[in-house]
Every structure is written in structure tokens, then in C-alpha cells.
Structure 1
Amino acid sequence: MTRFEGYGVLVTAAGQGIGAAVAHRLAAEGAQVLVTDVDEEAAGKTAAGMRELGHRAVEFVCDVGERASVDAAVAHAVDTFGRLDVLVNNAYACHPDAPLFEDEDDEAWARDLDISLTGAYRCARAALPHLVASGRGAIVSVGSVNGLQDFGCHAYSAAKAGLVSLTRTLAGHAGPRGVRVNLVASGTVRTPAWTDRGRNPDDVRELYPLRRVGEPEDIAAAVAFLASRDAAWITGAVLPVDGGITAVNTGFKGIAD
């Protein structure tokens, strides 16, 4: 498929995991992709791998916690590709909960909200004029089932719930200007976020009706759909891509914490 032929795309936190899978998927369908990440080496590795496959990909260091960094990334995408058609908000931060809520740390709480929610706001704010100009603009944010139900991680969950709200309010604002805004609510996905903590995501697979955890490509496929013209009459939507866990959640929290 070439649903994104001629598109300019910016993906945040694309150095690994879901972000890298999204970048690969959109590029495979014809997009020119700015692979951004706060980790310069990771962004470069992803972009180099894409170029080896014949795709057009450029790496760029972007910290969504800094307005100047976000503005620079958006400007670089427009300068490089001549346009910006799709923004994928994928960056997040998540610290473990304190044993007692009253022992939560202000700094850690603020960082989770700043990267996961305010970071998406910064990116959308910078990108929106260019998405309007494209005539086919779309924003897709990678959210979480944590923003829909209780799966632990207070700050991260609050941020992802806020991202759901931002998706809906921004959809209402941007729709008349020709820009669609949607969110993919992801369940457990096999990414370094698990393995770097010494955890095996397969420990929770039996809690999912489909009896497996997600792969980054599962989320990338949903992002590609929502970003494409196949979803031309969809905006303000929250699409759970979660193996059915939000339909039947039983006992997940105690195992996953």
C-alpha cells in the first residue's frame, strides 16, 4: 500500500519500540518520516535501518519537554519534506508508584505529566498550522488503557487520561480547519519499557482475551489507519488496541504492578 505517498510525517520517541514500528510502517506506505527521539543514537539507528530498506527517513533530536526543541523538530520536518501532514505523539514518561499515594514525589509526578501530556500539547501546537496547510492533516497520539481504567501508575494514568481529553477537545477545534485528531489506547506491548525493567510482558498474557500481549506492529497498524484517508470521517476517537483487556479486565493490576 502507498497510502502516505508524498506525506511528511513526524514521529516522537521513534528510537525504539512503538515509535520505531510506527515510523517503519508509515515509511513502508510511502511517507517521508522525521524520526525524532531525545536519544540521538536511537533515532539515528531507526532512521538508518529505514534508509537501508529504501525508505526516506531523517533523524532529529527532540525533547518534547522543551518548547524550543519541539519547534525546531517541526520546522526541520517542514524544511526537509516541504510539508507536514501527520504528527504522531508517542513520547511518554512513567515512574513506578510509591507504596503509599501520600509518598508520591512531586518531581516525578510532574515529569510524567510534562512528557506524556504536555509534550503532546507542545507538539500539536507547533505542528497544527502546517497540518492545516497540508489539507489532509492528522494527529494520532499513542495513549494507553491506563487512561481508561485502573491499571496502576497514578501519574502516567492521569497523563494518559488527560491525553484522551485533549484528543477530543483538539478534534473539535481542528476539525473545521481540516485536521483530524485521534488516539490509540494501547494495552501491554512487548517493548523495552518492560524488558529494561527486567520484566517479561508475557507474564500477563493470560489476562488478555486474545491470550497474548501486543507487538509494536499492532499499534503501528492502528496508527497508520487513523492517520490515513481510510479514516477520513473519524476524529476525536479513542481506539483501544488492547487484546480486549478493557472489555474484561480482571486481576491485572496486582500481577502487573
Structure 2
Amino acid sequence: MTSGLKRFDGYGVLITGAARGIGAATARRLASEGARVLITDLDATAAERTAAEIPGADHIGCDVADRAQVEAAVARAVERFGTLDVLVNNAFSCSVDAPAFEDESDVTWARDLDITLTGAFRCARAALPHLAASGRGAIVSIGSVNAEADFGNHAYSAAKAGLASLTRTLAGSAAPRGVRVNQVNPGTIRTPGWAGREAALSALGEQVYPLGRVGEPEDIAAAVAFLASRDAAWITGTVLRVDGGLLAVHPEFARVITEADTVDTVETEDAGDS
């Protein structure tokens, strides 16, 4: 579903981890409002498939753990569109069946933080001069309710909490350059990571979420579109919770979601399964 608005006519947009799920939904939403979108993903083939479905979209393989690849993606967007107005940080890493804290390995901890948090830093660092030059620049990062409650995945939660801190600190330094920086924290979202578990997903929505369902990728895409647009011209440094009322009403249900929800340890997964 789209709004019929055209808030992004002439905009150039770069979205990481955009081959599927929240990233792909966000690409479709912004493109439907006039944006020209660069689909980036660790899986270059999947990025190409998604871009082929979106009019005017381009694609490039990009590992956000690699500074050179990040800078190449930003350069591609500027070359292709003549401008870079919006960066959406969506790529992340999250371990399946996270171990007990004392069993967490240095490798897993470092990987999750490097992709989820430092990856967003690399993208923002490369994009910021172009976002400032556009005169309407915006960064929107996809966080998670994991950053706000005990969901049992220490590395992922720490990375997402760090991302919220980066959002706030970068907002202050980017504001004088005319760039706004915000974040969306989703609850459980119906993404490809839930394939084959529809019954569990439906039960989770009905039993845990106050609004009676889990979120759809389009719910998050709509929030990103708002924060990236001039409708949010006086909003920066904000973390917007989009979780169906979960943490406002039932913060004690964090463990219930942990038991039901796992995601693949791949950057091509979109952030925000919970």
C-alpha cells in the first residue's frame, strides 16, 4: 500500500540490506513516492532481482563491513542519481540461538557489532558530505526493540542500542550541515526469517502484541518514509518505536518473543524482526 504522495521526487536514496524484507519494502515505498533508489546488499544477485522490480532502481553488492565497498556504493548512488538525499541503514548481523552471556564468543560479538553498528557508521561517514550538499539530507537507521529490553541476544541488543546512541550524537553534529538523523525501532516484523513459522507468528501477534498482530515490512517502510521526508523537517535525534504497543503495555513479554523469534545470521536479513 502506498500513500499517493510524491514527497521524494528527484531524491537519490541508498538503502543497505535492501534485497528483501524491511529494506525492500522501504525501497518500494520511497520509489512509489518518486525516489530513485540504490538497492545495496551483501547478496548482489538478490539486490539485482529486487531492483528489477522497482522502476528506476539501481543495485550494487555491498558489504558494510568493508569501507571500500561502502564508499563505492555511495559513489554509485551519486553518479547514478546526481544526488544523495537519503541514507537508510538497514543491514545487520544477528546470531541464531544466541548463547548464554558467558558463552558468547569474541568472534560473534565483534561480527554483530561490526556489521550492525560500525557498518552504519561507515555508511553515514561516506554519505554525509553528499547529504549535506543536497540541502535536504536525512539518515534513517533501522534499530530494534532489542535495544530497549532484555530479549536475550546480547551482541545484537548492544549493537542496536549503540546505533540509537550514534543516531543521537550524529544528529547533533549533522544538524548544522542541514542533515537530520533519526531511527526506527521495530518490534516483531513478518520478514523472510519467519518463513515456515506462520502459526507461531500469528499466535505471537494475538497473544503478545496489544494491536493484535505482528508488524509488516510496510509498517516500518511508512515510518521511514515519514522520517526521511520534509514532513519531519523539525525532527532529528529521535528514536521512533514502531512495535504495536509492545513495550509500552507489556515490557515483561520480552522473553516470550526471544523463545519464538530467531533470525538468520546474514546481513541480507532486514533488521527489526524484534
| Structure 1 residue 99, shift from structure 2 partner | 4.2
* Structure-1 residue corresponding to 2:271: none
1:106 CA displacement? 1.1
Tell me, yes or no, if the aligned pair for 1:14 and 1:20 is still in contact at 8 Å: yes
Q: 1:227 corresponds to which residue?
A: 228
Which of 28, 31, 34 is equivalent to 1:24? 28
Alpha carbons of structure 1 residues 43 and 200: separation in structure 2 relative to 1, 3 Å: farther
Alpha-carbon offset, residue 96 of structure 1: 3.3
Query: 1:55-204 alignment to 2 at 5 Å?
Result: 55-195=55-195, 200-204=200-204
Q: What CA distance in whole angstroms lies between the structure 2 residues aligned with 1:243 and 1:254? A: 15
User: 2:254 — aligned with what?
Assistant: 252
What's the offset of the Cα at 1:203? 3.5
Instruction: Give the Å deviation of 1:101.
Output: 1.4
Q: Displacement of 1:202 after TM fit?
A: 2.5
Instruction: State the 1:117 CA deviation.
Output: 0.4
Q: Is the 8 A contact 1:207 1:252 kept in 2?
A: no
CA offsets per residue over residues 161-210 of structure 1, 9 Å max, x none?
00000000000000011000000001000001232789843242121100
TM-score normalised by L of structure 1: 0.95
Q: CA offsets per residue over residues 192-248 of structure 1, 9 Å max, x none?
A: 123278984324212110010000000000000000000000000000000001102
**Equivalent position of 2:15 in the other structure:** 11
| 1:62-85 alpha-carbon deviations (Å, 9 max, x no partner) | 110100000000000000000100
Does residue 43 (structure 1) correspond to residue 51 (structure 2)? The answer is no
Identity %: 68
What is the letter of the counterpart of residue 13 of structure 1?
G
Specify whether residues 15 and 222 from structure 1 end up closer, same or farther in structure 2 by C-alpha distance, changes over 3 A only: same
Give the Cα–Cα distance (whole angstroms) in 1 for the partners of residues 197 and 108 of structure 2.
17
Deviates more, 1:242-251 or 1:25-34: 242-251
Equivalent residues of 2:227, 2:235 under 8 A apart: yes
Q: Is the 8 A contact 2:13 2:84 kept in 1?
A: yes
Q: Number of paired residues? A: 253
Return closer, same or farther for 1:107/1:203 CA change in 2, 3 Å cut-off: farther
Contact 1:15–1:46, Cα closer than 8 Å, also in 2? yes
Higher relative contact order (CA 8 A, sep 6+): 2
Q: Secondary structure at the match of 2:39?
A: strand
Q: Look up the equivalent residue of 1:41 and give its one-letter code.
A: T
* Partner SS, residue 23 of structure 1: helix
CA RMSD of aligned residues (A): 1.5
Q: Which secondary structure does the structure 1 equivalent of 2:185 belong to?
A: strand
